[in-house]
A and B are shown apart, each in its own frame.
Chain A
Amino acid sequence: MIKLRRGIIDGIRAAKHRSDLYYYLQKAVELEHSTIPPYLTALFSLMPGYNDDIQKLIHSIVVQEMLHMTIDGNILIAIGGQPQINSPDFIPQYPGPLPMSIGGKDFIVGIEAFSKPLVLDTFMVIEEPEHPIPVKTLAVAAEEPEFATIGEFYDAVKKKIVELGNSIFTVGPDKQVLSWFPPNRLFPIVDCASAIRGIDIIVVEGEGTSSDPFQTPGNPAHYYKFGEIYYGRKIVRTPTGYAYGGDPIPFDPNGVYPMKPNPKLGDFKPGSQAYTRLAEFSFAYSSLLNALHTAFNGKPDNINVAIGLMYELKMLAVSLMQTPANDGTNRTAGPSYVYVDAKPT
Chain B
Amino acid sequence: MSYLDSPRLIFSGFFQADVSTINNDVTSFNNATFSDLFQQLNFDGSWNPEGTGIFRLVNCRITGAQLGGAQITENGRDQVIGMALENADDHVFGKLVDLDPQQQSCSEIWGMGLRLTDSAGSTVFSGDYVTAAFINLWRRQQQDTAPNDQELAAVYQSVLNRVQWSGTPSSAALKALQRASEDGELSINMNLYAYGRDPGIPRYTLGRVAGVIGPYRSGEPKHFVLGRQMVAAQGNGLSAVNGVFTFQAKVDAGRKALTADFGNSLQIVNADGAFVDVGPLAMAVLKTRTDGVLTSVAAGQVAVLGQVAYRQPNWYQQTAGIQEFDYSADSWCVANIETYPLLLLGQQNGGNYNVLIQESLGGLYVRADSFVYRLEPNESKTVELYTTQYGKPISAAITFAPNNAMIGNAAPANVEPPDVATPADGVSYASALTTDGNGRAALNLTAGVMSPARPRGYIEGQVYAVGYQLAQQPAQTIMNMWNFISVLVFSPSDVPAQPTWYRNIQPILQQYANLYPIMSKHLVKLGDYDSVVEHLNILKLAFSLPIGDPNHMPVTRDLSASNRAMIMKWMSSPGHDGLPLKGEPATAAVPPPPMATQPTVQLVLEPIQQRGKTAFVLGLAARAKAKERS
Q: Which residue numbers of A lie inside 8 Å of B, CB to CB? A: 48-49, 180, 271-273, 276, 280, 283-284, 286-287, 290-291, 294, 304-305, 307-309, 311-312, 314-316, 318-319, 322, 341-345
Contact = CB atoms under 8 A, between A and B. Distances in A.
B615 to A, nearest CB: 24
A271 B519 CA distance: 26
B41 to A, nearest CB: 10
A287 B115 CA distance: 13
B50 A276 contact: no
A305 B551 contact: yes
A43 to B, nearest CB: 11
Nearest to A302: B90
Interface stretch (B119-127, B336-344, B353-361): B119-127
A116 B26 CA distance: 44
Contact of B121 (A305, A312, A319, A341): A341
B122 A342 contact: yes
Contacts of B86: 341
5 contacts: A180-B537, A280-B93, A287-B90, A305-B90, A342-B121
Contact of B56 (A280, A305, A307, A341): A280
B206 A308 contact: no
Contacts of B88: 287
A218 B90 CA distance: 39
Given A307-B541, A345-B166, A271 B202 contact: yes
A345 B122 contact: yes
B541 A309 contact: no
SS class, residues of chain B in contact with chain A: mixed
**B16, B117, B522, B523: which has the most chain A beta carbons within 10 Å?**
B522
Interface in B16-63: 16, 18, 50, 52, 54, 56, 58
Contacts of A284: 92-93
Interface string B554-595: 000000000000000000000000000000000000000000
B204 A315 contact: no
B449 interface: no
Interface residues of B, number: 37
Contact of A319 (B52, B523, B551): B52
Given A304-B541, A344-B166, 15 more contacts: A272-B202, A273-B204, A280-B58, A284-B93, A287-B92, A291-B91, A294-B90, A308-B92, A308-B551, A322-B50, A341-B117, A342-B120, A342-B122, A344-B123, A344-B126
Interface string B516-533: 001101110000000000
Nearest to B519: A315
B92 A312 contact: yes
A283 B87 contact: yes
Interface in B307-333: none
A343 B122 contact: yes
Contacts of A283: 87, 89
A49 B87 CA distance: 34
Contacts of A291: 90-91
A291 B113 CA distance: 14
A343 B118 CA distance: 11
A48 B525 CA distance: 10
B234 to A, nearest CB: 34
B567 to A, nearest CB: 18
B522 A314 contact: yes
A305 B91 contact: yes
A17 to B, nearest CB: 33
Determine the main DSSP class of A at the interface with B. helix
Interface of B: 16, 18, 50, 52, 54, 56, 58, 86-93, 117, 120-123, 126, 166-167, 202, 204, 206, 518-519, 521-523, 537-538, 541-542, 550-551
B202 A273 contact: yes
A12 to B, nearest CB: 33
Contacts of A345: 122-123, 166-167
A309 B541 CA distance: 13
Nearest to A274: B202
Contacts of A318: 518, 522
Contacts of B89: 283, 286-287, 290, 341
Contacts of A49: 521
Contact of A287 (B58, B91, B126, B206): B91
Contacts of B126: 344
Contacts of A287: 88-92
A287 B86 CA distance: 12
Shortest 9 CB-CB contacts between residues of A and residues of B = A342-B121, A308-B551, A344-B123, A48-B521, A345-B122, A312-B92, A287-B89, A290-B90, A318-B522
Contacts of B166: 344-345
B204 A307 contact: no
A287 B167 CA distance: 22
Nearest to A343: B122
Nearest to A324: B200
A178 to B, nearest CB: 14
Nearest to B541: A304
Contact of A307 (B58, B521, B522, B538): B538
Nearest to B88: A287
B575 to A, nearest CB: 20
A63 B92 CA distance: 20
A341 to B, nearest CB: 5
B52 A308 contact: no
Contacts of A48: 521-522
A271 B167 CA distance: 34
Contact of A315 (B52, B56, B90, B537): B52
A315 B524 CA distance: 11
Contacts of B202: 271-273, 276
B92 A276 contact: no
Contacts of B91: 287, 291, 305, 308-309
Contacts of A273: 202, 204
A344 B523 contact: no
Contacts of B541: 304, 307
A42 B52 CA distance: 21
B24 to A, nearest CB: 19
Nearest to A179: B537
B34 to A, nearest CB: 18
Contacts of B58: 276, 280
A272 B14 CA distance: 13
A312 B93 contact: yes
A308 B92 CA distance: 7
B523 A315 contact: yes
A294 to B, nearest CB: 7
Contact of B50 (A180, A286, A312, A319): A319
Contacts of A315: 52, 518-519, 522-523
